[in-house]
Chains A and B, each alone.
Chain A
């Protein structure tokens, strides 16, 4: 090992220490407590895998998983389709291109909690007025108070905010495509749609993959926007997994039990991300 590469290892030590103390050790502590009946305070005893067995019999936990996946998959698809479309528009030769790019990035700068409260007002007060005026019945009351529609409100707000970040990644990707590819395609008489399918999309494959993985992972951990919009309601119809963990673990005095839930959820997210990376990377173009 040369002298200089040793120095690089030493430079990584502070970051490693921080990561281990702030991330790895707390995570392992959580795994440890998932094997106990710890309430978050007071005495505790080991219960083995009891918490994990109870988890699979808890319909509230199971329904939070199905809500979270429904929400995350829907939002990921909407975000990626719209973000790619917007990125292509912003990459085209349009006037005020830089200004538009700036404007489309604004939602990402705002805190989701604040956006959530603003949209909460819009959904509860403004949209119902519009619905009453237009005579649309399902829109005349707050959609957040409707058990069947509330999740769509959350999807809309989450998508509105996270499209901005995906657009930036797609824009970066679009700029890596050499212009001569399009010139050659033009000469061969390829239409716009054909160019998108055969050049643009394969060439930004890596960016598509990372966007899909980041978006799905992020939405699986949804919490803030739900707190601001529905608080998990009406009833418990929009409770995400993160929310059940917080409520049960920190407010409900079932710390150990919800730690087990966290561990399972960690494994689920890792598994989903790995599967996603594997299948999507296989489809990326090599160049």
Chain B
């Protein structure tokens, strides 16, 4: 054992305390409230830091502490297990968010003034992922992404191709590029999830109406279910495979970051991704030429929609002790000024009525669909996250075994319905 003499020990703790104090900008005042703000998006930490400064300047007495961690969907669960729900949160509006909302861990925001401003089509997409009860709103959309086909306008112009309106035009365009020795699409099959943007767009427009509602209603009874992946996803699977047949050689070993770089450098005409890839592509090459169009999945342009998900969902802990302050912060973040600024800097779409339209040339092709409400949700947000959808899809794209792919999806779905009967009823 060792003994610290009293003198040095005191000096040490005093020095530590001093170091801690000076590292804070200002020592907390008497009745100051600190909001614990869980912010999931690593790309937007700087953005939110600036917004927090603005908010704190306008609201003395409230301090906001931004926490950003890797793998936020896992981290939020560990916080919840410990009963440490943050006061204010941003989360991706995915299936995982839906499950948490269903477990009633988030506050009801339906009475907030900013909730009235939200585009109804967007709020519906978010609510469909799951909520505590049918009258509540457990999350407000702050920024949306849109999944579409990104393309290089210079390459398109060089070969006289215009943005395709129908599926046949899309395939014809791909053939034109292929015939001229240009890679039609840049595929990044090493990262399994990059197969899903194409899948969700095909599914959104080709699956029968209410597919997932009917599938859930079937419960555990696979044999008598009116809908199933094997029955209703045939065309989705065929078209998905058709697109991925155009993958450049060696695509299986390419990851997302390399794909962004290659597309930014003009190595392919099109890129099957979404608005969320635009900042990453520009980071790889600030002069990248990017434009976009929605997936023309059928030969009727009137059917075309944009698949959009809530990229940043704003919500509050249900039992937060600082409810009034948290509400103030949420309504500040949902204000027109903040959302306009955020969507401009982050290449996102604004989900509120009063917002300025997206001016980014890379996103123009999808902007009109967004404001007109021609939107669909992400199909994968309807699946329980315990189904490894992206891995199953990656496998299918690699081996082309359609029967196995669809059967696996059905099998996983009904297997999980059987072991979580309560979820099957909802």
Contact = CB atoms under 8 A, between A and B. Distances in A.
What range describes how many residues of B lie at the interface?
35 or more
A42 B103 contact: yes
Interface of B: 73-74, 77-78, 80-81, 96, 99-100, 103-105, 189-190, 192, 250, 252-253, 384-388, 391-392, 394-396, 398-399, 411-412, 415-416, 418-420, 422
Interface of A: prevailing SS: loop
B252 A253 contact: no
B77 A147 contact: no
What range describes how many residues of A lie at the interface?
35 or more
Contact of A128 (B250, B398, B415): B250
B118 to A, nearest CB: 26
Given A41-B77, A142-B252, A142-B253, A257 B99 contact: no
B105 A42 contact: yes
B103 A39 contact: yes
A212 B96 CA distance: 41
Nearest to A260: B419
A51 B81 contact: no
Interface in A219-272: 231-237, 239, 247-248, 250-254, 257
B77 A250 contact: yes
Contacts of B103: 39, 41-43
A125 B384 contact: no
6 contacts: A39-B99, A145-B253, A145-B398, A248-B386, A252-B387, A254-B386
B192 A128 contact: no
Given A40-B77, A41-B77, A142-B190, A247 B252 contact: no
A141 B386 contact: no
A3 interface: no
Contacts of B80: 40-42
A124 interface: yes
A194 interface: no
A145 B73 CA distance: 27
Nearest to A235: B395
Minimum-distance CB pairs A-B, first 9: A235-B395, A252-B386, A42-B103, A145-B252, A142-B253, A41-B80, A54-B419, A124-B253, A252-B385
Contact of A257 (B250, B385, B419): B419
Looking at B78, B385, B391, B422, the one whose CB has the most chain A CB atoms below 10 A away is B391
B104 A42 contact: yes
A283 interface: no
Contacts of A186: none
